[in-house]
């Protein structure tokens, strides 16, 4: 008989206290708001099929979503273009960092929607004739995923736009290749605002759950995107969501996820739950050190690995990376 803990009573505060003991990693410093993040901040939340949301301490503390927004931008682009986004963006992992200045050879397309080149393009593909209209569509779409009205941190959006030199470079490169059809500056502006949307761990867990449950938000009951869109997005999260650390992540944690430089990770365990873990210090792959440890433990304890449940919780040390 399984001794697995029930997710409805799983002790997230105990897990939080355990991972708080991990003290490696560096806070990302690309913009002042990220550099000033509290390295001791740590929050966890899970959203379950019955619409219940369970959380640890600090799960109502807000942070900018950063790259954890990318799966949702991809979902909105797929929906708004009726799948054409799949012709405009690759879906192969790169084995390179999130902001590598590189496009798919031969096509000039972004390699996948989970790296910056791809997210600049998905943000440009959502419905809207100009920057303001696309911003509005994205904010409304993200709010539907979260089941509550979200807002943009204007200072973060401004600094992401001003200081995102590599994003400007990628947008110009895609213009030169003919794959980006809005102006480079407009593309960076929309993407910067999407990265600057404020969420907390609870909201991000519900967003992940909406993808995990076939595009239907388990809290509001709204079908935000069709099930085939959600399946495409979760598939690409599995292969590309943790950048050049995606293979290691899938082996160790085994749950489709997206990392981000704010230290947030959103997880979508198909049919099981959505989760968010956040703590700012990052490892060399741009993944939260505590977030990775918490995700691995959660997956192990609740049997979430998509390629097989090894049976009882192992309590084994993390495998070699």
Output the smallest distance, CB 116 to ligand GLU, in A.
5
Q: What backbone torsions phi and psi does residue 213 show, to the nearest 5 degrees?
A: -105, 45
Q: Quick one: 117 or 219, whose CB is closer to ligand GLU?
A: 117
Closest CA to 240 of 111, 139, 103, 83: 111
Measured distance CA(39)–CA(49) in Å, rounded: 32
Contact (CB, 8 A) for 292 and 55: no
- Binding status of residue 94 toward ligand GLU by CB under 6 A: no
299 binds ligand GLU (CB under 6 A): no
Tokens of 271: 């049919």
- Among 113, 286, 291, 303, contact with ligand GLU (rule: CB under 6 A): 286
CA 12 to CA 198: how far, in whole Å? 22
Contacts to ligand GLU from residues 189-248, by CB under 6 A = 195
User: Is residue 160 part of the contact set for ligand GLU (CB under 6 A)?
Assistant: yes
User: Based on CB atoms, which residue is closest to ligand GLU, 210 or 262?
Assistant: 262
Classify the C-alpha dihedral 250-277-100-168 as positive or negative: positive
- Which of 36-44, 72-80, 159-167, 210-218 is the region at the interface with ligand GLU (rule: CB under 6 A)? 159-167
With CA atoms as reference, report the closest residue to 34 among 281, 303, 266.
281
The correct pick among 56, 58, 66, 287 for binding ligand GLU (CB under 6 A) is: 66
Would you say 56 or 260 has its CB closer to ligand GLU? 260
Q: Within 13 Å of residue 289, how many CA atoms lie on the same side as its CB? A: 19
Kindly indicate which of the ranges 72-80, 136-144, 160-168, 249-257 contains the residues binding ligand GLU, using the contact rule CB under 6 A: 160-168
Q: Which of 55, 112, 116, 295 binds ligand GLU (CB under 6 A)?
A: 116
* Contact call for residue 67 and ligand GLU (CB under 6 A): yes
State which of residues 94, 260, 287, 288 lies at the interface with ligand GLU (CB under 6 A). 260
Which residue's CB atom is positioned nearest to ligand GLU?
Answer: 67
CB 244 within 8 A of CB 96: yes
Q: What is the dihedral of CA 80, 84, 88, 91, to 10 degrees?
A: 90
Residue 83 vs residues 87, 217, 228: alpha-carbon distances, Å:
8, 21, 10
Asked if 268 interacts with ligand GLU (CB under 6 A), we say no
Footprint of ligand GLU (CB under 6 A): 30, 66-67, 98-99, 116, 160, 164, 167, 195, 260-261, 286
């Amino acid at each position: 008989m399984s001794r697995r803990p029930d997710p409805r009573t799983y002790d997230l505060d105990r897990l939080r206290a355990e991972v708080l003991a991990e003290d490696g990693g560096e806070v990302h410093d690309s913009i002042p708001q990220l550099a000033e993040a509290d390295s001791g901040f740590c929050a966890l939340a899970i959203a379950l099929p019955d619409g219940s949301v369970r959380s640890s301490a600090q799960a109502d503390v807000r942070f900018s979503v950063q790259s954890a927004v990318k799966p949702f931008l991809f979902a909105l682009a797929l929906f708004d273009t009726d799948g054409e986004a799949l012709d405009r963006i690759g879906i192969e992992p790169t084995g390179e960092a999130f902001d590598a200045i590189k496009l798919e050879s031969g096509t000039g397309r972004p390699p996948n929607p989970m790296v910056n080149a791809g997210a600049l393009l998905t943000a440009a593909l959502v419905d809207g004739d100009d920057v303001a209209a696309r911003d509005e569509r994205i904010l409304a779409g993200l709010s539907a995923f979260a089941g509550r009205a979200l807002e943009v941190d204007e200072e973060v959006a401004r600094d992401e736009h001003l200081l995102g030199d590599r994003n400007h470079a990628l947008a110009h490169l895609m213009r030169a290749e003919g794959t980006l059809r809005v102006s480079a500056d407009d593309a960076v502006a929309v993407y910067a605002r999407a990265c600057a949307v404020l969420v907390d761990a609870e909201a991000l867990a519900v967003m992940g759950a909406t993808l995990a449950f076939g595009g239907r938000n388990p809290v509001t009951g709204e079908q935000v995107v069709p099930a085939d869109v959600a399946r495409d997005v979760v598939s690409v999260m599995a292969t590309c969501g943790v950048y050049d650390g995606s293979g290691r992540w899938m082996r160790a944690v085994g749950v489709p996820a997206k990392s981000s430089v704010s230290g947030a990770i959103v997880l979508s365990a198909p049919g099981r739950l959505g989760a968010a873990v956040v703590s700012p210090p990052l490892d060399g792959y741009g993944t939260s050190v505590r977030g990775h440890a918490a995700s691995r433990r959660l997956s192990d304890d609740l049997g979430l690995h998509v390629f097989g449940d090894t049976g009882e919780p192992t309590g084994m040390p993390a495998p070699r990376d």
